[in-house]
Amino acid sequence: MKKLPIGLLLIVLLLNSCSDHPTTIRFPEGMEELKIGENSKALCSDCPKKFVGYLDLTQRGLHFMELTAKMWQELYLNHPEFSVIWVFGGESVKIDKNELKRLLEEMGYPYSVMYDKENKFYELNQLEKIPHEVKAIQSYFVNGDDIIIDAEPGMPNLFRKQLSEFLILK
pLDDT in 10s for each residue of the chain, 170 residues: 445 455 554 554 544 444 467 899 999 998 999 999 888 888 999 999 999 999 999 999 999 999 999 999 999 999 999 999 999 999 898 999 999 999 999 999 999 999 999 999 999 999 998 887 889 999 999 999 999 999 999 999 999 999 999 999 87
Q: Which CATH architecture has domain 20-167?
A: 3-Layer(aba) Sandwich (3.40)
pTM of the model: 0.86
| Cα 87 off chain centre by | 7
Break the chain into its structural domains and give their ranges: 20-167
The whole-number pLDDT of residue 12 equals 45
The whole-number pLDDT of residue 45 equals 92
| Cα 148 off chain centre by | 12
Q: Are 72 and 39 in contact (CB under 8 A)?
A: no
CA dihedral angle for residue 26, residue 29, residue 31, residue 32, rounded to 10 degrees: 120
10 Å Cβ neighbour count for 12? 11
Report the C-alpha gap between 105 and 118 in whole angstroms.
23
The whole-number pLDDT of residue 130 equals 85
Q: Which amino acid is at 123?
A: E
Report the C-alpha gap between 24 and 143 in whole angstroms.
9
3-state SS class at 20: coil
* DSSP β-bridge partners for residue 54: 87, 138
3-state SS class at 167: helix
